[in-house]
Amino acid sequence: MMIRLIFIGLLIFPGVAAAAQPVNLSGLLPTTVARPLLEQDPGVAAARAGLEVALQEANILDQSPYEWTTRASGQQRRLDSGPGYNEWNVGIERTIRLPGKAAADRNIGQATVEESRARYGEALHEAARDLMALWVDWLAAERAQTLAVNSLQSVQASLEAVEKRIRAGDASRLDLSIARAELSEQRRMDNDAKTQVSAAWMRLSTRFPGIARPPQVLPMPSPIGEDVAFWRERIITESDELKVLQAKMRMAQSHADRARADRTPDPTLGLYTASEVGGRERISGVMISIPISGGLRDSRYAKANASVQVSGQEFERKKRQLEVGIAGAFATARGSYDSLKIADEGAAAMQENAVLMQRAYSLGEAELQALLIARRQANAALNNVLQAQVTALKAYYGLLVDAHLIWDLEND
């Protein structure tokens, strides 16, 4: 009945998704706690370091790849019938990057930074999904242990009822043996539940060191208030995977622009001065050299142009895969929420039946086997509610994580 009351209370809340704003939900880690855990994740830290590398790469591309080159040579001139002369030649030269190539290089650098930023956001997104799943698994294990304790108490109550009837001469020793066996089995299940809690917490605290262990209750999911079009638009807009591919598309286009501009070779300009005939002749001049373009540059441009087409198709393929995943996640979220309501109704009926059977057995109006079956059915129904709750909660939180509506993911 308590589950049903919580359920009804949540139904009157306004839909979280309708506002399309970042949200904080009871039962989910607050942003002030979750964000530091995400930032210290090794994958996120590596992506953050990769962003610094990309910024340095962009700075390098913004500068010319060419440097000043100095040249010096010396020689000795000897005449067949005369003295010899020392001569020398010095100069300085540099290749000039043409303006179109400089713009293309800057665009490549910007696309590199955009890709690294998107990869940083994707690392945060993946860490957030892990944190969400592990957090829900731990809360579910805690809830399962609570159910096991309640079930153990019910079996102990049944054993006490059997002992009371035996003292009254209204039950057999077989009933006592069955009740004790049922109690032993329930103790084993209670111990298994405790083990699952420890294992779930170890997985969570090992994956995210430093996380606190506050007393917490597994929350109920909220109903999905928006249609699939809303979630598709929101998630696609916020998708870091697509942002990575968009950056790759821009990078491929920038490389194609660079290859097109590179069909015109960069010229090399220089100044030189020379001394000949022992200093009697002084020479100064300007030097320019331009490579003769061949078919190799055209082939490189054709290859870069084809790469643009490949990156565009990769983006469309990933976008279609994402749309399929969104549709499936939305259907799962809505369907699992409906399943949870059905499971809750069934559990309420089973619990009521178990209470009636307990009373009937105490009055000698029912057999012990019937009571134990009713207890098992009620416990199974409560566990079904728990499983449905976990499925619905993960589906709902998964949509919120993908849509970047929690933990400040929208700012990355």
Could you give the 3-state DSSP secondary structure of residue 209? coil
Under 8 Å between Cβ of 182 and 158: yes
| Residue 138 pLDDT > 60 | yes
pLDDT of the residue at 221: 84
Is 285 among the domain residues?
no
pLDDT of the residue at 15: 38
Q: Which residue, among 307, 301, 272, 275, has the nearest Cα to 289 in the 3D structure?
A: 272
Report the distance separating Cα 295 and Cα 220, nearest Å.
67
Report the distance separating Cα 251 and Cα 115, nearest Å.
9
Is 79 among the domain residues?
no
Q: Residue 26 — pLDDT band, cuts 50, 70, 90?
A: low
Question: Residue 163 gets which letter from DSSP?
Answer: H
Q: Which residue, among 235, 59, 43, 62, has the nearest Cα to 126 in the 3D structure?
A: 43
Strands 268-276 and 69-78, how do they pair? unpaired
| Residue 297 pLDDT > 70 | yes
How far from 370 is each of 173, 189, 325, 365, CA to CA, in Å? 17, 21, 46, 11
pLDDT of the residue at 246: 94
Under 8 Å between Cβ of 403 and 326: no
Is 275 among the domain residues?
no
Is 195 among the domain residues?
yes
**Phi/psi of residue 94, nearest 5 degrees:** -155, 140
pTM, rounded to two decimals = 0.80
Query: What's the angle, vertex CA 239, arms to CA 27 and CA 121, rounded to 5?
Result: 75
Q: Which residue, among 88, 397, 6, 86, has the nearest Cα to 273 in the 3D structure?
A: 88
Question: Within the chain, how many helices (H) and strands (E) appear?
Answer: 10, 4
Domains: count for the chain: 1
With a pLDDT cut of 70, the percent of the chain lying above it is: 91
Under 8 Å between Cβ of 219 and 26: yes
Is 73 among the domain residues?
no
How far from 12 is each of 9, 49, 223, 332, 391, CA to CA, in Å? 6, 45, 10, 22, 22
Q: Residue 24 — pLDDT band, cuts 50, 70, 90?
A: low
Q: Residue 21 — pLDDT band, cuts 50, 70, 90?
A: low
Compute the mean pLDDT over every residue in the chain, rounded to the nearest whole number: 85
Q: What is the mean pLDDT of residues 90-112?
A: 92
Is 290 among the domain residues?
no
Which residue is associated with the tokens 């895969």? 321
Is 124 among the domain residues?
yes
The range of the structural domain enclosing residue 379 comes to 2-65+98-264+302-411
Structure confidence by residue, pLDDT tens digits, 183-208: 888 888 889 889 999 999 999 999 99
Is 309 among the domain residues?
yes
User: What tokens were used for 172?
Assistant: 């057999």
Q: What is the mean pLDDT of residues 314-327?
A: 93
Under 8 Å between Cβ of 80 and 7: no
**CATH at residue 359:** 1.20.1600.10
